[in-house]
Amino acid sequence: MINRAKEPERPHFEQLIQDVMARYQAAGVAVAIVNQETTLYQNFFGWRDAENQLPIDENTIFGLASISKSFTALAILQLAERGAIDLEGPLSRYIPEFCNAHAAQPVKVWHLLCHSAGFLPQPRTLASTVAKEMGIWQEGQAELGDHPGLAQRGAELICRRLDSQAEKTGRPGENLSYSNDSFGLLSEIVRRYGGEHSFPDYIENHILAPLGMNRSGVRFIAPAQDPNCSKLYYLEEDQRQWTRDFYDNAFVLMGGGAMKSTLADMKRYLQMYLRGGLTQDGAAVIGDYSLREMTKPRQQYAFQQQYGYALSIGRMGDWTMIGHGGSLTGVSSNFQWCPELGVGVVVLCNTSGVPAALIAEEALRWFDGRQIPAPRRQWQDAGWTPEQIAQAIGTYSSSEDDSDNSVQLYEQDGKIALKRAGKPQPCVAAAQDLLIVPGPFSDGSIQLLRDPQRGVWGLRTGGRILTKE
């Protein structure tokens, strides 16, 4: 491990963070760079409570959102190592409420780990909604993650909805489409086969405690009541609002996004991966084989990015980048590591919609002595033919949430044009079936999906497949 970070470049890196925070109205950001043994860099920007200007420190609690999926995957692989479950086993064996309806082949446990069970994006089944229907809601005063009846009911509702899907993204294992429900069902397998009272109990006893992550957990009430917990900020009509309600948009099955943690604890978590699955004392949280299975590329996730088991695998120049991000109300998070450099980065933010992955990538660039910020690639229009444009034109959508998340492709002045949620956005036809969508600091991508029978039938954006109406 060679630290090539140049101290004169540190202000450029930290100015980038400030610029990102200003652009997205972020309240607070915590960043750390670590190797196997120690912290190489750590800093805090903004506030955990902007109204009262309360500072952030390494013990401030943040939401993790979808970083939670990596904890769920670890738990599943632990159970597989113990022989309690079989990754090749059908989902219906472990959750009989899932009938595998409308599937040409059995959905297996490993399909859920890499979002390839064939499920299209679905609306969130919320903990508060289901609890109210069951008559166990107490205005957010109960730790619903410990309630076995709620978990059982949540599994029934999700399985019923997934079984009702006649339209699929493909055969199980064929295509990735990001699925929170899949990881909810994985957490239910952990609850049923992990030998603990609840999913939170399993995570705490088998992952958090061995790593000394004493301020982390899968809880709703306790974090919000902690005096060193961040407020959760989000934008509504370009105005920043806040809440401390971790039940807001919380999944009824917790494995998709319910984790909370701190920078200090997440450094320990990241170092476990850098040590090949070992704690600081040399105890194995996960075996070497299982860790290699987690980080093996299995599905196309985005442009130049693959997905393993709850971890994305990409390239940045000559580096391999492995990790995961998260986004929920009041949460933007990212952790990733570079095996070639032997270092990793954690970024935690208490505001929705902030590109935490960008900050993490720039942190590693700075560590390696590279230019900050990264030079923007100048994309050239590949010049789609009129036939290619005609095939792509249409509206693509999903039912994942209540907002308008549709993508419309249309012809304008002989070129393909884009609207997202009804608003025009710039795009470049960079290659056949590939659109690049420039952003303020980095570029996104849209990949068209086609087959010989249907032609262009969908597109992938943000890891999700939207189908053509």
Q: How far apart are CA 266 and CA 134, in angstroms?
A: 35
| Whether domain 1-375 has CATH 3.40.710.10 | yes
Token pair listed for 430: 């960079």
Examine domains 1-375 and 386-468 and report if their fold is the same.
no
pLDDT of residue 2: 62
Token pair listed for 200: 């939170």
pLDDT of residue 179: 96
Global confidence as pTM: 0.96
Q: Please enumerate in sequence order all residues whose Cβ is within 8 A of that of 463, keeping only pairs 6 or more positions apart, or say none.
A: 115, 176, 177, 178, 301, 302, 307
Residue 235 bridge partners (DSSP): 240
Do 126 and 401 form a contact (C-beta atoms < 8 A)? no
Rounded alpha-carbon distances, angstroms, from residue 166 to 110, 158, 162, 296, 406: 21, 15, 9, 30, 20
pLDDT of residue 8: 73
> Each residue's pLDDT tens digit in the chain (469 positions)?
667 777 778 999 999 999 999 999 999 999 999 999 999 999 999 999 999 999 999 999 999 999 999 999 999 999 999 999 999 999 999 999 999 998 889 999 999 999 999 999 888 899 999 999 999 998 777 899 999 999 999 999 999 999 999 889 999 999 999 999 999 999 999 999 999 999 999 999 999 999 999 999 999 999 999 999 999 999 998 899 998 889 888 999 999 999 999 999 999 999 999 999 999 999 999 999 999 999 999 999 988 899 999 999 999 888 999 999 999 999 999 999 999 999 999 999 999 999 999 999 999 999 988 888 888 899 999 989 999 999 999 999 988 865 557 899 999 999 999 999 889 999 999 999 999 999 999 999 999 999 998 899 999 998 999 999 9
User: What's the burial of 289, exposed, middle or buried (CB within 10 Å: 0-12/13-18/19+)?
Assistant: exposed
Look up residue 442 and give its DSSP letter.
Answer: S
Residue ranges of domains in the chain: 1-375, 386-468
Token pair listed for 250: 């919380």
Backbone torsion region of residue 344, taken as left when φ is above 0, otherwise alpha when ψ lies between -120 and 50, otherwise beta: beta
Residue 49 bridge partners (DSSP): 54
CB atoms within 10 A of CB 441: 17
Domain 386-468: assigned CATH number: 2.40.128.50
Do 73 and 113 form a contact (C-beta atoms < 8 A)? yes
CB atoms within 10 A of CB 238: 6
